């Protein structure tokens, strides 16, 4: 069976038979200066945004594909990576019959999306070192388990997944393996994109929301086998990436120096905060991190969360996640913000020893 045939067996029949909506701007976008456009019922008086945006995002997609070193038929963009994850459910999972697997404690969106899409979820906990339990995952999988969601570096635990275990899953999992790399820029390990040519079932999602500092524009990136991308493109809404987003992303991506500097500073601050937080008497443990946050175990998470909030610092109370009782997640801030956090923690420590 060819790679494309294997993918075709996973897609929902509904999507395989779908003819995509052809929008007015599908054909003529590239030459818009020279032509009179009376095809899309737009307002003809020029402003930056009176025309519909390019539904194929050609310029932006080509730039991102070249930066990532993949062919542009292996890449699609979404309104944030949440949008792409949702699209994967709608393209590959038949409601009330198919299932997906995720590995808690992990990003809560996989569960929310499975519920919203009426798709069963099997949760196979990460092991004690926050790594996938390969045997348990494979034992829980079958022809109806369409997607396995991996998150590396994982949110909220912070660590990259073990490469050998992920490769074993890519070789043996019967469905698609999504690796959510929202934090990949903060890790030493360059991530799994280099395996795209080797495994037709590998799907990588990335985002401009974290390292790139563009959470407000909503832009997610999905890289996969061209057949997977072709199915996803059939099901996407025509103008899913707005013009303002495309322009802003082009500007930022053409200036990679800022990203490198900011990521390096965040990594340095992550090291400093890890060191300082572990000295705090009510912090029991600081977990190692490949991301832009630190997960810490404290004596009483609800108490410490509220004390910090009262002093003007919001962290995430992650105690509700599986096996993360009494944990808090600290995003790494600017150096002066981190200083402030450390001062506040020191003040709480003084009070608690009185
Ligand atoms: C923040 C985050 C995202 C980003 O989602 P966007 O919709 O692109 O903003 C994706 N996955 C994980 C694990 C995250 O923590």
Residues 6+ apart with CB under 8 A from 25: 39, 40, 51, 52, 53, 54, 55
Q: Are 36 and 164 within one domain?
A: yes
34: DSSP letter = G
Ligand 1 centre and the CA of 40: distance in Å? 33
Looking up residue 101, the CATH number of its domain turns out to be: 3.40.640.10
Q: Are 116 and 25 within one domain?
A: yes
Q: Is the CB of 98 under 6 A from ligand 1?
A: no
Nearest-CA residue for ligand 1 atom 1 is 182
* Burial classification of residue 30, based on how many CB atoms lie within 10 Å of its CB (0-12 exposed, 13-18 middle, 19 or more buried): exposed
Q: Find out whether 290 and 186 touch, Cβ atoms under 8 Å.
A: yes
Query: Which residue, among 154, 139, 150, 115, has the nearest Cα to 321 in the 3D structure?
Result: 154
Which residues is 274 bridged to in the sheet?
A: none
Q: Are 175 and 320 within one domain?
A: no
Residue 20 above 90 pLDDT?
Answer: no
Distance of alpha carbon 240 from alpha carbon 151, whole angstroms: 24
Q: Are 90 and 101 within one domain?
A: yes
Selected residue with higher pLDDT from 39 and 318: 318
Q: Is the CB of 220 under 6 A from ligand 1?
A: yes
Q: Are 28 and 58 within one domain?
A: yes
Q: Are 212 and 137 within one domain?
A: yes
**127-140 confidence digits (pLDDT tens):** 999 999 999 999 99
pLDDT at 352: 59
SS3 of residue 97 by DSSP: coil
Q: Is the CB of 86 under 6 A from ligand 1?
A: no
From 79, 106, 107, 215, give the residue whose CB has the most ligand 1 atoms within 8 Å, as the site to mutate. Answer: 107
Distance of alpha carbon 263 from alpha carbon 243, whole angstroms: 27
Q: Find out whether 65 and 90 touch, Cβ atoms under 8 Å.
A: no
DSSP characters for 178-241?
A: EEE-TTGGGSSS--SGGGTTT-TTEEEEEESSSTTS-TTT--EEEE--HHHHHHHHHHS-TT-S
Confidence band, pLDDT 50/70/90 cuts, at residue 55: very high
Domain span at residue 39?
Answer: 3-254
Ligand 1 centre and the CA of 207: distance in Å? 7
Mean pLDDT of the chain: 95
Question: What is the side-by-side strand order in the sheet with 120-123?
Answer: 75-78, 220-223, 202-207, 176-180, 145-151, 99-102, 120-123
Domain's final residue, options 190, 225, 254: 254
Q: Are 90 and 206 within one domain?
A: yes
Residue 320 above 80 pLDDT?
Answer: yes
Q: Are 124 and 229 within one domain?
A: yes
Which residues is 204 bridged to in the sheet?
A: 179, 223
**61-116 confidence digits (pLDDT tens):** 999 999 999 999 999 999 999 999 999 999 999 999 999 999 999 999 999 999 99
Confidence band, pLDDT 50/70/90 cuts, at residue 26: confident
52: DSSP letter = P
> Is the omega angle on the peptide bond into residue 156 within 30 degrees of 0, that is, cis?
yes
Q: Is the CB of 245 under 6 A from ligand 1?
A: no
pLDDT at 25: 73
Q: Is the CB of 151 under 6 A from ligand 1?
A: yes
**158-169 confidence digits (pLDDT tens):** 999 999 999 999
Q: What is the mean pLDDT of residues 16-29?
A: 76
Q: Are 230 and 145 within one domain?
A: yes
Looking up residue 320, the CATH number of its domain turns out to be: 3.90.1150.10
Chain CA centroid to CA 350, Å:
39
pLDDT at 30: 56
Q: Does the model's pTM come out above 0.75?
A: yes
Q: Is the CB of 81 under 6 A from ligand 1?
A: yes
pLDDT at 34: 72
Residue 310 above 70 pLDDT?
Answer: yes
Residues 6+ apart with CB under 8 A from 126: 103, 104, 105, 106, 132, 133, 154, 157
Q: Are 181 and 202 within one domain?
A: yes
Which residues is 176 bridged to in the sheet?
A: 147
Q: Is the CB of 105 under 6 A from ligand 1?
A: no
Nearest-CA residue for ligand 1 atom 12 is 182
Domain's final residue, options 233, 254, 275: 254
Q: Find out whether 219 and 241 touch, Cβ atoms under 8 Å.
A: yes
Q: Are 314 and 344 within one domain?
A: yes
Ligand 1 centre and the CA of 153: distance in Å? 11
Q: Are 263 and 342 within one domain?
A: yes
Atom of ligand 1 nearest to the CA of 215: 9
From 77, 81, 111, 161, give the residue whose CB has the most ligand 1 atoms within 8 Å, as the site to mutate. Answer: 81
Q: Is the CB of 156 under 6 A from ligand 1?
A: no
pLDDT at 284: 97
Nearest-CA residue for ligand 1 atom 3 is 182
Look at the chain and report how many structural domains it folds into.
Answer: 2
Domain's final residue, options 210, 231, 254: 254
């Amino acid at each position: 069976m060819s790679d494309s045939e294997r993918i075709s067996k996973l897609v929902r029949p509904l999507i395989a038979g779908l003819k995509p909506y052809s929008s007015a701007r599908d054909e003529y976008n590239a030459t818009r200066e020279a032509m009179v456009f009376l095809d899309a019922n737009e307002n003809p008086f020029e402003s930056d945004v009176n025309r519909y945006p390019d539904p194929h995002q050609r310029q932006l997609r080509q730039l991102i594909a070249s930066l990532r070193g993949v062919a542009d038929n292996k890449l699609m963009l979404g309104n944030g990576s949440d949008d792409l994850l949702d699209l994967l459910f709608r393209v590959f999972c038949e409601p009330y019959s198919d299932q997906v697997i995720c590995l808690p404690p992990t990003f809560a969106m996989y569960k929310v999306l499975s519920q919203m899409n009426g798709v069963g979820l099997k949760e196979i906990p990460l092991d004690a070192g926050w790594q996938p339990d390969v045997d348990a995952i494979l034992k829980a999988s079958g022809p109806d388990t369409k997607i396995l969601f991996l998150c590396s570096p994982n949110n909220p635990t912070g660590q990259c997944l073990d490469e050998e275990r992920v490769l074993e899953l890519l070789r043996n999992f019967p469905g698609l393996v999504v690796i959510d790399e929202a934090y990949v820029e903060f890790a030493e390990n360059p991530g799994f994109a280099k395996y795209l040519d080797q495994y037709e079932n590998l799907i990588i999602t990335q985002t401009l929301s974290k390292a790139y500092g563009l959470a407000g524009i909503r832009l997610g990136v999905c890289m996969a086998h061209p057949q997977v991308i072709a199915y996803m493109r059939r099901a996407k809404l025509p103008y899913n990436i707005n013009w303002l987003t495309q322009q802003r992303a082009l500007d930022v991506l053409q200036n990679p120096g800022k990203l490198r500097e900011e990521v390096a500073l965040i990594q340095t601050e992550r090291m400093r905060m890890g060191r300082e937080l572990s000295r705090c008497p009510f912090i029991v443990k600081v977990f190692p991190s490949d991301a832009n946050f630190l997960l810490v175990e404290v004596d009483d998470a609800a108490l410490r969360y509220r004390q910090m909030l009262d002093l003007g610092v919001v962290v995430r109370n992650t105690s509700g996640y599986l096996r993360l009782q009494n944990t808090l997640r600290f995003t790494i801030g600017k150096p002066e913000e981190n200083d402030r956090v450390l001062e506040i923690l020191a003040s709480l420590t003084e009070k608690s020893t009185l």
